Every structure is written in C-alpha cells, then in structure tokens.
Amino acid sequence: MKKLVGLIGSLLLLCGLLFAGVKSLTPRHAAGGSKTLVLYNWGAYLDPALIKKFERETGYQVVYETFDSNEAMLTKIRQGGTAYDLAVPSDYTIAKMRKEHLLQPLDKSKLSNWKYLDPACLNHRFDPGNRYSVPYFWGTLGIVYNDQKIKPGQLQTWNDLWQPRYHRQILLVDSARDIMGMALASEGKSMNSTSSVQLKLAEAKLVALSPNVKAIVGDEMRMYLEQGEAAIGVTWSGEAAQMMQNNRHLRYFVPAEGSNLWFDNLVIPKNARHRQAAYAFINFMLKPENAARNAAYIGYATPNWRAKQLLRQRHQLESQLYQVDWRHLTVYRNLRQRKLQEYNDLFLNFKMSSH
C-alpha cells in the first residue's frame, strides 16, 4: 500500500472487527486449526464486514494481523515465526520475495473468479504471468488541489509546482521513492533511475521547490487538505479519494509527464499451513460484489473489471482515480539496497533544507 498506515487506522480496523463480533483475533485460533486463515495485511485495508461474511459463508475463522510497511512484513515472513496463509505485499516487494523463494506458486484452477481481473492489471514485470500474486488494489501518485484556491487547468504538470505563486502552499507525502521519483519525472527521467548524477540533480531540483513546501507529512495530509490549510498535496490516489469524499472542492490528477503505478497483491507465503483457506479467501475477494464493497470502503482502485462496473452503477466510482493514461506510468522496480539508501539520503537532505 502506498502509505504507512497510522496507528489510528489499525485501531479503527480492530474496533470494527470486535464490534462486528469477529472472534478471529483471539489467541485460541492462532494455534491453527484446519478451519483457520491467518491473514497478514496493511492496517485498515479490508472492510471488516467482509471478514465476517467470509467466516459465515465458509466456516473458516480469520486471524488478522497487520503491518505498516513492506519492509516490516518482509522481515517477519523471512523470520518464519508465524505461518501466514496470505500476505499483501506491494509490487517491488513481490520481486524480492520471488528471488528469495518465499512464495508458493498459485494454482489458478482453484480460482474460478480469476476471470474478473482486468488484463491491464496482470503480467507486470514484478511477477510475469502472475505466477505468485493476485492483484488486490492499484493506484497512482498524483496531485490533489483545492479548486477554491487553484483554478482548474492552472496546475497540469509536476513542473507547475515550482511556480512562485504556490509559496508555502504545497504538502508532500513523506516518501523518499515517491518524491525523488516526482522530481525525476519532472525532468523526463525514469522514476527507477539508478544514475547517481540524475539522482543528485533531482535532489537539487527538490531543494529549489523548498520555498513552496508548507510541510512534508504522513497521514496528517488528509486533515490539512480537507480543512483547507494548504492548496496542493502530492499523495496517492486512495488518499485523494478519501479526501474528496469529505471536501467537494478537492480534485485529483496524474501529471502529464508521468508518474508511479503501483499494485498491492495477495500472495501465499511458502510456509502457509492453510492453503485451502487461502484459496477460498482469494476467490471470495475476487467475487465482484465483494471486490466492489471493499473498494467502496477502502477508496483505492479495484483491479476487478466487473466490480468497477458495479461501482459505476452505484455511483461509488471516483472517476478521477481511474481515468489515467497507463502508457505514461511506471511501476517501481526492486532496486538494490545501496541505491535505495542513496534515494533516502538525498531525500533526507531535501527535508532538512525545507525546514
């Protein structure tokens, strides 16, 4: 998921599960009977009512654990202390997990609802042929703006953010890969660049943006933009969807130069103990009605083409999130640790200059 989900989000999900009467978080299920599913997901990234529905329809009990970053999830699966039946890593993390032999290949004959997946969401470089992964949500990095402060059409590209008229009006999401990527894209460079020269130039361009940056923030961006405390935010599409539900003057778009396209995916770790339960849950979530309900609850874009039709029929589809030109979007690659550290160090330099 393209954000570090805050503690509040995780607590809200936990409260929702308890309120719904889901018994799956109790320790007795963690011991692992044959009718158990151990699910490892981002916090607040699944409609709690769907867990209750799955348990009621199948008889399985769900043990639900959460993580707040791909790195934390990967570390715990590497350690192998808990045998998770399903996890929800992002694209580049799947490439790492494949390389380290941490995943089970999928038996697609057990997934009768695979037919509802949009072909555009399949067969990407991080998992050719989707041998190991099932798309769960997808999204983009883009710009949110308040149409009471910014005239429609006034802001169209990444480079427009550097205009002096936006002095102290911009919020940036606290993500090295995304903000460095934004600077690279603004110069027509790849968001997967490994050129130290290009990365250093991207840092210099971000430093030049500093006068326009009000703050570099996490989950607080939603509140600030909803309340009109800033005119512009650089963030992810799902975050934008939730903001737009609470403030009708907020708009979202992906700049013409291109941006990041990301996928979160369901995978079965190699040491999973309840494989039948894992397939049952994947197939359950691929049912269009369930996928549509989950997308309406979470706010991110569904890869399920039939679910998207249902959302459109119910007027729950935020068209600004779906109407993007994928030809100009880039899926992040799994870069070497040394290069990721370079991204992080340069981003930190920029953050220090923005204070």
Q: Quickly list DSSP for 110-123.
A: G-GGGGGB-GGGSS
Which is more confidently placed, 320 or 287?
287
In this prediction, residue 32 has a pLDDT band, given cuts at 50, 70 and 90, of low
Give pLDDT, residue 219: 84
For each of the domains in the chain, give its residue range(s) and CATH number, in order of start: 7-138+262-318 (3.40.190.10), 141-260+320-354 (3.40.190.10)
pLDDT, tens digit (0-9, with 9 covering 90-100), for 6-31: 444 444 444 444 444 443 443 334 44
Give pLDDT, residue 1: 66
Give pLDDT, residue 317: 81
pLDDT, tens digit (0-9, with 9 covering 90-100), for 189-222: 999 999 999 999 999 999 999 999 999 998 899 9
Spatial distance between the Cα atoms of 107 and 104, rounded to a whole number of angstroms:
9
Tokens of 212: 């326009």
Give pLDDT, residue 318: 79
Average pLDDT for 101-113: 98
**Is residue 288's pLDDT more than 90?**
yes
**Is residue 159's pLDDT more than 90?**
yes
Contact 274, 85 (CB under 8 A): yes
% of the chain residues with pLDDT over 90: 81
Contact 331, 193 (CB under 8 A): no
Give pLDDT, residue 152: 85
**Non-local CB neighbours of 286 within 8 Å, separated by 6+ positions:** 111, 113, 114, 116, 117, 134, 304
Give the 3-state secondary structure of residue 171.
strand
% of the chain residues with pLDDT over 70: 91
Give the helix, strand, coil percentages of the chain, each rounded to 5: 50, 20, 35
